[in-house]
Amino acid sequence: MKHPKTLVRIVLTVLVLGLLGWFVAKNWDDFSSLRIIHPWILLLSVPITILSLYSAGMVNEITMEPHGIKPSRKEVFALAAANRFLNQVATNYAGATMRAVYFKKKYGVSYTKFSSSFAVANVLQILISCLLAIGMFIVISGGVNKIGSIVTILIAGGVLVLALFLPTRTIERMIDFFRSKLNIKALGHLRNLVTEYGHVRSHPKMFQRMAFWMVSLTIISGVIIYLLYFSLGTNITVLEAIFIAGMTNLAIILSVTPAGLGIREGMIVFSASIIGVSPVVSLAVSILLRVVIALVSGAISLIFIRTLTRYN
């Protein structure tokens, strides 16, 4: 019998894909009329995607520093490419699992330590995405009069700010108290995770450097989205594209389908609709984005396959 969580994911996946199929069928005439008007612009998105993988690799390098290791630029670039590819085509967190196994086998980094770095990176990425999305929205809307449309983003950002300053020592004492009363093995794992989270978070200047590369990564993603819209003959501004990119990064919170299928596409359509862009064009852009990222990151992963499979 399947685990209840697995059944929920299956149901949600079927529901999301069903909604996407219904939307495409309903607007088929509009979809069939879309054409790639500027193919050279589409090709230009390839080197920009490679640049985004380099930025992601730099984030990976920084997150591993608290554990006393410094992988080479070649390693982190290859890992970023493989991670991005798996996130486009495989089950949830397949990319993170691959990186965890790599660092465990080659550097002896425990899964708990990797999970703490992964958690810190995700929290910071979502926080930065929230702030960038809010900032871009204020600029492109000409003020704060329309800020009500993204109240949920503000709330999420506030929660994540609190998460960055969680009193880990207090939480550790609380977990120790419950461990003394309850014989639950999972509490021990949770305690280790909280300890490592505090260790990673306190690393000197780590957040500043991670923030720089994450802001760069979001802006680069916005440029890619801008190019994809332009390739289909739809003009949006770079600031609008960065807003869409920031909003799309929040899809990590809702990763309930394999490879985020339908979730990321839905976030792009939703974000674009806020600024008045056609949902049909936006869905086409989201599909193009997934294809471009999968092809580029997949090709780079194959080029560096020996790096990714050499643990000694």
Residue 192 predicted with pLDDT over 80 = no
Average confidence (pLDDT) over 281-305: 92
Q: CA separation (Å) from 32 to 148, 284, 288?
A: 35, 11, 15
* Backbone conformation region of residue 38, classed left if phi is above 0, alpha if psi is from -120 to 50, else beta: beta
Q: What is the pLDDT of residue 56?
A: 93
Pairwise pLDDT comparison (197 vs 230), residue with the higher score: 230
Work out the burial of residue 112: count CB atoms within 10 Å of its CB; fewer than 13 is exposed, 13-18 middle, 19 or more buried: middle
Query: For the segment 79-138, what is each residue's pLDDT rounded down to a tens digit?
Result: 999 999 998 887 767 888 889 998 998 888 888 888 878 877 887 888 788 888 888 888
Residue 132 is part of which domain span?
38-309
Tell whether 18 is covered by a domain: no
Contact 286, 260 (CB under 8 A): no
Higher per-residue pLDDT: 112 or 192: 112
Residue 129 lies in a domain: yes
With pLDDT > 70 as the criterion, what percentage of the chain qualifies? 82
For residue 46, give Cα distances in angstroms to 42, 238, 248, 271: 8, 17, 19, 23
> According to the model, what pLDDT value does residue 282 have?
93
CA distance 251 to 17: 16
Percent pLDDT > 90 in the chain is: 28
Could you tell me if 99 and 79 are in contact, meaning their C-beta atoms sit under 8 angstroms apart? yes
Angle among Cα 224, 298, 244 to the nearest 5 degrees reads 25
Quickly tell me which residue has 């000409």 as its tokens.
142
**Which of 85, 103, 104 is closest to 95 using CA atoms?**
85
Angle between helices 238-249 and 206-231 (to 10 degrees): 120
Residue 127 domain-assigned (yes or no) = yes
Cβ neighbours around 141 below 10 Å, total? 16
Residue 8 confidence (pLDDT): 66
Query: For the packed helices 73-89 and 94-107, what is the interaxial angle rounded to 10 degrees?
Result: 150
Q: What is the mean pLDDT of residues 156-177?
A: 70
Task: Kindly tell me the sign of the dihedral angle through the C-alpha atoms of 76, 77, 80, 82.
Answer: negative
Mean pLDDT, residues 161-182 taken together:
74
Number of domains in the chain: 1
Q: What is the residue whose two structure tokens read 């939307």?
A: 23
Sign of CA dihedral 250, 256, 260, 262: negative
pLDDT tens string 225-265 = 999 999 999 999 999 999 999 999 888 777 767 767 778 88
Confidence of residue 1 (pLDDT cuts 50, 70, 90): very low
Answer with the residue of higher pLDDT: 292 or 66.
292
- Average pLDDT of the residues in 273-281: 90
Report if residue 179 sits inside a domain.
yes
Residue 311 in this model has a pLDDT that exceeds 80: no
DSSP letter for 110, please: -
**Domain for residue 5, yes or no?**
no
What confidence tens digit (pLDDT) does each residue in 39-62 have?
Answer: 998 899 999 999 999 999 999 888
Span 195-217, mean pLDDT? Answer: 78
| Residue 153 pLDDT | 56
Split at pLDDT 50, 70, 90, the class of 268 is: very high
The overall average pLDDT reported for the chain is 82
CA nearest neighbour of 28 among 264, 284, 267:
284
Residue 294 lies in a domain: yes
Is residue 30 in a domain? no
Q: How confident is the model at residue 158 (pLDDT cuts 50, 70, 90)?
A: low
Task: Considering only residues 73 and 161, tell me which one the structure prediction assigns the higher pLDDT.
Answer: 73
Q: Assess if residue 84 is contained within a domain.
A: yes
